[in-house]
Copies of this chain bind each other. A is one copy, B any other.
Amino acid sequence: MATDNALTAEQILSTAEDVLRRFGPAKATVVDIARALGVSHGSVYRHFPSKAALREAVTQRWLDRAHDELAAIAAEPGPAAERMHRWLATLFAAKRQKALEDPELFATYMVLVGEVSGTVEEHVDTLVAQIREIVEDGVRRGEFRDTAAGPVARSVFLATAHFHDPAHAAEWSRPAAQDDFEALWSLLLEGLRGR
């Protein structure tokens, strides 16, 4: 057998992701997940206290994976303005690609994300912290005016919500979306540079 026979939380999460993908968030049951693993559903409850906790863990895992590429960009060398633009554009591109290439899977994750507000807040904090890193570096380099990096980073995140918040996914397929993004970035960049 591929994994010998120890049932791990990781295995369950991975299979749960498959089952959610296949059946959708409304239909996927713990019994389905157990069946896909070839175990009884009782065994799943040895690793996760509830279906909700399992779904939250799947979501967490998914959000964490989405972080990696962005964290790398935030830490890159070079001009902060260009880096922030790349960071935001990458975030937008990643979300848009996921939403357009497999809308059903994206809808599945939208449902999951809607269930776990606490987890999402942490996720947002992580992203804002990455923006803040870039802002602070920009101030150090003299590219940006010297402001409270925390609030400014949060403002940049909120201002670009249209391009990364799933609530706006329906607008991402409009041809003008990229132009809208670039126009907004120009305005924000002016704001970061200041007088």
- Contact code string A159-194 (vs B, CB < 8 Å = 1, else 0): 111100101100000000001100110111111111
When chains A and B are docked, how far (Å) is the Cα of A188 from the Cα of B194? 10
Let me know if B194 and A180 touch, CB within 8 A: no
Complex partner residue of A183 from B151, B165, B186, CB under 8 angstroms: B151
Let me know if B195 and A187 touch, CB within 8 A: no
Let me know if A155 and B180 touch, CB within 8 A: yes
Let me know if B183 and A187 touch, CB within 8 A: no
When chains A and B are docked, how far (Å) is the Cα of A37 from the Cα of B185? 52
Return chain B residues, CB-CB under 8 Å to A195. 190, 193-195
Let me know if A194 and B190 touch, CB within 8 A: yes
Return chain B residues, CB-CB under 8 Å to A191. 187-191
Return chain B residues, CB-CB under 8 Å to A167. 165, 167-168
A61 vs chain B, min Cβ distance (A):
24
Q: Is A145 an interface residue (CB 8 A)?
A: yes
Q: Is A158 an interface residue (CB 8 A)?
A: yes
Return chain B residues, CB-CB under 8 Å to A162. 158-159, 161
- Listed from nearest, the 7 A-B pairs whose CB atoms lie closest are A191-B191, A167-B167, A159-B159, A190-B191, A151-B183, A187-B191, A155-B184
Spell out A's residues near B (CB within 8 Å). Answer: 145, 151-152, 154-156, 158-162, 165, 167-168, 179-180, 183-184, 186-195
